[in-house]
Structure 1
């Protein structure tokens, strides 16, 4: 009975800690940003840059950062990947997108910074962008001959673009990102509130004069849809993490991933790549493991491999692009996460 009570207490304590003011002020703006991106930036405008006719630096650049437009897990990104791949995206940009989609969405990066530390959030974002490109380039090289045949049979991508000007989108999303930064800063509360009111007022003006009819409603609906999709699973995941970490012997964590060795980083990467992580649940899981003695290097390796790949994800990817390509993708994710975590651990471990 004491064992069960300890687990329940640990779950509730972790949940209360997670729902701190700092994390909430991080999550709320991030949800609105993700919702606005889903409405204002059309999928066609992103997809067209992945085609075989696109310049490489454009294709990989767009693919590597497009995850910021999404708030998806390794399974939710699959329909988008399948569509992009079947429409004619090269395997390089397509796999870059497949990895970056769940790995670097703005919710995950901002939450990592708020819950674990901004050095980890920045490392996760930069690491994910860089090695998603490396993975894509290597995949493109490995399967360059078969790609010529596949792409030769597919028509050119449609040229759909967003109706909003680039200038407007930069100002609009820049203002929203500024709200997120200010809200999670260590400024005095009255200063944060004053600045946020000014920024929110600017957002209101842009919505009033530059949004088309129905776009604001679609933005709110998309944001609420993301909240419903993410928050319940997230809170359950946080509670379960608190239960497990309350009874898990710290020496187990310290013994296996407490050091920044290549073996420890490989173990963290492999476990992360096999097990399924719902959107954002990897953050409280890793935070709990760090509290139990996990080194910063393996922690980053788990964050890089866990959200992007899973057994369900790999099974579907196998049906889309075949066993050899799927195996190569899986191996590259594990290797890159291992090396990135190991390098990071030397500075922050």
Structure 2
């Protein structure tokens, strides 16, 4: 028994080694710098002000659906932001749109999904999450929002820090995607090294010392917060591949039956995925035979819900509204996975 456990540990370690060799230098490191820049240099208040009662609906829902890219929140940090905008005057529609979309289109999560599971799932995760978040928000608004309730406008503080931040974002994004476009080392380095040097130069020119320290601090915080959990997820994903019978995965989430999508969506909603750890686990399940449709259902429901998350949501919104939101997430994730599996694969 002890030797078997040791063998499993070696399998998990081998998975971590393979992951470190393939994905850290050209994937995670640029992504961490990008997410750190977004978290520190973009003004959250300049985004959240669009959720106020005075903002037109098409503005508030649009900003709520895409602001996860700018705010770089995960499934944990989205909850206090959601509570803040909901309590400070945002309608339940835009607030729940933000609650679903923000962790789903986290830059790190989208990039990592595309790198590990394929660009089809990465793009589908981002685009479908945005569309579904708006649908969920509109349904919640239709059911619960009262026109006669007076809402206070959201108080915001500060202005945009820099117009240059957008250009920095594009440079960092270029550094991130270049290895995917130019796969040979010589042409890749010929483009990548000048991009890195230009990024360093403009960063020193455009941003002051405090802002640069804030950027590096946020980047290091993300590295410390995410990397240990991510490597742990990779470790256990390797063991899952070894232990879980492939025929079970194929039987329950490998086909295109309605049941497979419901199982994938409900299972993801009940599990707790720390940021990015859903990707190696789902990758392991796809190796065992899980279809891409159920995989997308898990990618949509997993970041949005977990048992601890559900408790907090119910406390913020109340049991009835909270359970309605939870049911909507599970259903739309299953339906989206089914549609993706039927029409795009």
Normalising by structure 2, we get a TM-score of: 0.95
Q: Name whichever of 260-269 and 192-201 sits farther off.
A: 192-201
Alignment of 1:90-239 (within 5 A): 90-145=91-146, 148-149=148-149, 152=150, 154-158=152-156, 160-165=158-163, 168-239=164-235
User: 2:60 matched to which residue of 1?
Assistant: 59
Q: Is the CA contact (8 Å cut-off) linking 2:96 and 2:136 kept in structure 1? A: yes
**Deviation digits for residues 62-104 of structure 1 (CA, Å, limit 9, x no counterpart):** 1111112344432332111111111111111111111112111
- Cα distance in 2 for residues equivalent to 1:71 and 1:281: 16
Mapped pair 1:48 → 2:84: no
For the 8 Å contact 2:175–2:192, the answer to whether it is kept is yes
Between 181-190 and 132-141, report the one with greater CA deviation.
Answer: 181-190
Give the distance between the partners of 1:78 and 1:329, measured in 2 at CA.
14
Residue segments in structure 1 that go unaligned for 5+ positions in a row: none
Q: Do the aligned partners of 1:25 and 1:184 also contact (CA within 8 Å) in 2? A: no
**Deviation (angstroms), 1:22:** 4.0
In the TM superposition, what is the alpha-carbon distance from 1:215 to its structure 2 partner?
Answer: 0.8
Q: Which moved more, 1:187-196 or 1:12-21?
A: 12-21
Secondary structure of the corresponding residue to residue 337 of structure 1: helix
**Displacement, 1:186?**
4.1
Structure 2 Cα separation of the partners of residues 25 and 138 of structure 1: 41
How far off is 1:156 after superposition? 4.3
Q: Kindly indicate whether residue 18 of structure 2 is the aligned counterpart of residue 17 of structure 1.
A: yes
Q: 1:300 to 1:81 in 2, by over 3 A?
A: same
Q: 1:278 to 1:156 in 2, by over 3 A?
A: closer
> 1:235-314 counterparts in 2 under 5 A?
235-314=231-310
CA distance in 2, matches of 1:292, 1:84: 41
Distance of 2:329 and 2:193 partners within structure 1: 42
Please tell me whether the aligned partners of residues 296 and 348 of structure 1 are also in contact (alpha carbons under 8 angstroms).
no
TM-score by length of 1: 0.94
Residue 316 of structure 1: aligned partner: 312
**Equivalent residues, number:** 344
Q: Is the 8 A contact 2:91 2:145 kept in 1?
A: no
Matches of 2:85 and 2:165, distance apart in 1: 23
Equivalent in the alignment of 2:31: 30
**Offset of 1:56 from its aligned partner?**
1.6
Q: Is the 8 A contact 1:23 1:115 kept in 2?
A: no
Residue 328 (structure 1) aligned to one of 324, 327, 333 = 324
Structure 1 distance, partners of 2:59, 2:197, is 34
Name the Cα RMSD after superposition: 1.7
In the other structure, the counterpart of 1:84 is 85
Question: In 2, Cα distance between the equivalents of 1:30 and 1:286?
Answer: 20
Unpaired runs of 5+ residues, structure 2, are none
Partners of 1:148 and 1:201 lie apart in 2 by: 56
Structure 1 pair 261–24 and aligned structure 2 pair: CA distance change class (3 A): farther
